[in-house]
Structure 1
Amino acid sequence: MTESPLKKSVLLFSTKVSFLLFISIILSFCNPKKQKTKQKIISIDSVDTYNISGKNKANTSFSQKKEETKEVFIKSDTKNTIIISSLLPDFSTYKNVKQKKKAFFSFLTPLIQKENRLIIQQRQFIQEQYQIFKLKDTLSTENITLLNKYILDYRCENTDLQDTNTYNDLLLRVDIIPQELALVQAALESSWGSSYFVRAANNLYGQWCFKPGCGVIPRARKEGETHEVAKFETLEQSIRSYMLFLNSHPAFSLLRKERAIKRKHNKQPDAISMANGLKDYSARGQKYIKEIKSMLQTNKEFLIETTKKNNALTISSLKVKGNSN
């Protein structure tokens, strides 16, 4: 039986469609433009945010001026730039300034508390080992290894675990950063969560790194400079890095001393007094401190409200001792 012209046309059309689909599939695998580029995320462990020596160089590891970090671009082909997705809400949608501030503080508070809890756990461990040492008992090999890790991480000047000064040095450094201070600095450095750095690199505090490819190259970087704006997998890592920086870098010894004075008198560390130790956080020096203190006062209402809602974390609330001498 002879096939009708209609059937022949349908068969021919189907063959052509199948052939075209086959060709398109082959081309999709061959065309590099269609393939997605894998982005290597730099973890906090591989971001060298502490590669600075000397007190006067601390400001080179952080954003220097608010005006300088307000508008940032990458020195690369923007078509090939991959932005890290951040869980940070889009605070620009808030038209009411008060609501925006409340939302910003409310979002970050649990994250800051989480990192402070980790510090508290470290501090408790150090205190326990210090008590064992004072009782002339032998520390376990595992605990000695962990203590040595803290000594390295927090850049302690004393390293001998048979010396009382080593434990005191650790306890001076391994302590919380007041929630209010962490919130206000995040607001200032990230322009209330709207800066390019926080949106693209989960970088809340304008931290710099110095290994090639560790972060984002700012447009304002001068010829000969090698710093990049650190890139983090999560906002928690940014907060953790910020706290470790304040607790370990020589430039912030005054900040730690202010906190230790409060501990000595069985008082909670407060943001205002510790802000006095932030002179080298920015090239603006005393002006930066003044702005931080001003923001603490201006946003006091929102900070108090956030504290009440989130049950602000304190050392005393968890029955953690001060310096165990």
Structure 2
Amino acid sequence: MNQKSNFIKSGHYGHKLIMGGVTVMVVTLYGLVFWNVRHTTSALRGTETLFIAQESSLISVIKQVNADYKEDLQTSLNCRPFAECSKLEEAMRIARTYPTRFSSNLAYLTNISSRKETFVSNLLPSILAHNEKVQSEREYLLILKKIKDTGKKLNFEQMQRLNNLALKYKLRRVTIAELLKRVDVIPPSLALGQAVVETGWGGSLAAQRFNSPFGMMKSRTRVFSYNSLQESVSHYIHNLNTHEAYAPMRAIRAKLRNTGEQLCPLKLAEGLLRYSELGRTYTGRVKTIIKSFGFQQYDKARLTSFYQQS
């Protein structure tokens, strides 16, 4: 060992130079790889195909805005207690103004109040409008149920409409009881909460470029693209009302209806464990958003009588 040590110390510095050169080459190689990954990622983001690397989360939402927004959001999460649904007394009136796209400045709004107001105003009218259509179908089913409950038979037209609804809501065996589990509204607070988690308050590429605020995937690497927010809302609500993965949500909703309770979004969210691979972590984030930002106030919102397309 001493001979080897003396040999190195005795002026043979060539070995040190070689090792130093190798070190420089390794560091340079790592730098090039890191640079290439960063620029390749940037290029991918600019293509028409949207690659979803991971589910949107509260952390990714926070990272999209500046320090002021982070502070406001954290304060909101810390100060507001997480509790079950409370009774809603007053119904706010929302104008029938249907933005076809999210505002382009959503990604740059740093004030949480302004961001929330813009996001809700862009999406809520379409949610309420589609719920109106579903509620109309539900009321017709309830009329048919009353007829059946009295022992009378449905006429040809009524049977035809019943069969059409069963086909629309993907029900093979036509029964009014089963249809009523599917033909029902989605609380606006739940839809808004999911859209926030999925898009980071409407600032994501999916929301801005593809009108896709609910994370609906066409394939493993591509989101659904819609012509308008109204179209995306319609697909989202119909999906929750028909897809087998969300049968637990529909069962919870039917139970609440049977007991005369309001459709609590926090309870319904528990039936959406299969909406995301994150499972309970995902539903927990949705519920936190709903409570922290007071989205339940929109569950009793109603559209005004006049109509305006924007």
Q: Same fold (TM over 0.5)?
A: yes
TM-score interval for Structure 1 and Structure 2 normalised by the shorter chain:
0.5 to 0.7
Cα shift at 1:176: 0.8
| d(CA) in 2 for partners of 1:258, 1:172 | 9
Which runs of 5 or more structure 1 residues have no equivalent in the other structure? 1-61, 71-84, 160-165, 211-219, 222-227, 315-325
Amino acid in structure 1 at the alignment position of 2:230? E
Amino acid in structure 1 at the alignment position of 2:182? R
| Cα distance change of structure 1 residues 262 and 306 upon mapping to structure 2, 3 Å threshold | closer
Report how many aligned residue pairs link the two structures. Answer: 211
Aligned to 1:87: 101
Cα shift at 1:277: 0.6
Cα shift at 1:64: 6.2
1:108 to 123, 129, 135: 123
Q: Deviation string for 1:233-259 (max 9, x for gaps)?
A: 221111111111111111111111111
Cα shift at 1:305: 5.6
Aligned to 1:127: 142
3-state SS, counterpart of residue 236 of structure 2: helix
Aligned to 2:24: none
| Cα distance change of structure 1 residues 169 and 306 upon mapping to structure 2, 3 Å threshold | closer
| d(CA) in 2 for partners of 1:306, 1:173 | 22
- TM-score under structure 2 length normalisation: 0.62
Amino acid in structure 2 at the alignment position of 1:156? L
| d(CA) in 2 for partners of 1:271, 1:306 | 11
Amino acid in structure 1 at the alignment position of 2:301? A
Q: Deviation string for 1:137-196 (max 9, x for gaps)?
A: 34333332222122122222522xxxxxx1110111111111100111111112211111
Amino acid in structure 1 at the alignment position of 2:218? C
Cα shift at 1:275: 0.5
Aligned to 2:196: 187
2:275 to 281, 287, 303: 281
Which runs of 5 or more structure 2 residues have no equivalent in the other structure? 1-51, 61-98, 304-310
Runs of 4+ in 1 over 6 A off after TM superposition: none
The answer (yes or no) to whether the contact 1:63–1:282 under 8 Å persists in 2 is no
Amino acid in structure 1 at the alignment position of 2:147? I
Q: Deviation string for 1:198-218 (max 9, x for gaps)?
A: 2222111111236xxxxxxxx
CA RMSD in angstroms, aligned pairs only: 2.5
Higher helix share: 2
| d(CA) in 2 for partners of 1:241, 1:128 | 26
Aligned to 1:263: 257
The answer (yes or no) to whether the contact 2:193–2:287 under 8 Å persists in 1 is no
1:66 to 44, 56, 69: 56
Aligned to 2:234: 240
Amino acid in structure 1 at the alignment position of 2:290? L
Are 2:194 and 1:205 aligned?
Answer: no
**How high is the sequence identity, in percent, across the aligned residues?**
27
Amino acid in structure 2 at the alignment position of 1:194? G
| d(CA) in 2 for partners of 1:306, 1:116 | 13
| Cα distance change of structure 1 residues 96 and 123 upon mapping to structure 2, 3 Å threshold | same
1:174 to 161, 166, 183: 183
- TM-score under structure 1 length normalisation: 0.59
| d(CA) in 1 for partners of 2:159, 2:292 | 45
| d(CA) in 2 for partners of 1:239, 1:143 | 28
3-state SS, counterpart of residue 144 of structure 2: helix
Q: Deviation string for 1:23-77 (max 9, x for gaps)?
A: xxxxxxxxxxxxxxxxxxxxxxxxxxxxxxxxxxxxxxx996227xx8xxxxxxx
Aligned residue runs from structure 1 range 287-298, under 5 A: 287-298=281-292
